[in-house]
């Protein structure tokens, strides 16, 4: 008696499975942040460190950071005015509270949008998600810094931060 309903049930299971898989792939998983696509940002920011996704910080953070490049985390990262303006425009257009909000809103939970932190590693969600990492791992020769995402997240440059 259940025979006519069996193909329909199998089709529904298959459709549900593919919807879940495609939904995850489309969103990039639970820890996806749109990677940097602008060649100037990739070159200038990525020459010293991972070019972090603009969706990882709010506009206020990017503006403050770009406004003080001569004191960029202990380094002078000064650029000419035109390049600085272009990079800032890209970062703020794709920040977590603007164009990148589909991806960065989870990371910004509990953070100020008006006076956001300069370091991604200071965001409450980041701190919470990394709280179980033992202190010795941060000191490992291949890691050395909490900002060295690619040491643990091999696909970080492509925007994937799942473990």
Domain chopping of the chain, boundaries: 1-30, 39-158
Alpha helical stretches, state H, 47-152: 59-66, 81-93, 101-104, 124-129, 135-138
Residue 160: helix, strand or coil by DSSP? strand
pLDDT per position as a tens digit, 128-159: 999 999 999 999 999 989 999 999 999 999 99
15-72 pLDDT, tens digit each: 655 544 444 444 445 689 999 999 999 999 999 999 999 999 999 999 999 999 999 9
CA atoms within 13 A on the CB side of 156: 16
The pTM of the full predicted model, rounded to 2 decimals, is: 0.78
The span from the CA of 60 to the CA of 66, in Å, is: 10
pLDDT above 50: residue 101: yes
Question: Would the CA dihedral through 12, 14, 17, 22 be positive or negative?
Answer: negative
Q: What is the distance in angstroms between the CA of the first residue and the CA of the last residue of the chain?
A: 47
- Tokens representing 136 are 């010795």
Segment 107-116, tens digit of pLDDT: 888 898 899 9
């Amino acid at each position: 008696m259940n025979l006519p309903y069996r193909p329909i049930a199998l089709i529904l299971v298959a459709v549900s499975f593919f919807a879940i898989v495609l939904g995850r792939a489309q969103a990039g998983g639970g820890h996806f942040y749109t990677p940097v696509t602008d060649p100037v940002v990739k070159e200038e920011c990525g020459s010293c460190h991972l070019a972090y996704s603009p969706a990882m910080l709010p506009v206020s953070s990017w503006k403050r950071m770009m406004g003080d490049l001569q004191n960029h985390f202990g380094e002078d990262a000064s650029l000419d005015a035109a390049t600085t303006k272009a990079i800032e425009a890209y970062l703020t257009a794709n920040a977590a509270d603007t164009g990148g909000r589909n991806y960065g809103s989870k990371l910004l939970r509990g953070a100020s949008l008006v006076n956001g932190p300069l370091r991604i590693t200071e965001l409450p969600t980041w701190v919470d998600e990394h709280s179980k990492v033992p202190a010795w791992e941060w000191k490992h020769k291949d890691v050395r810094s909490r900002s060295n995402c690619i040491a643990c997240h091999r696909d970080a440059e492509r925007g994937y931060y799942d473990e």
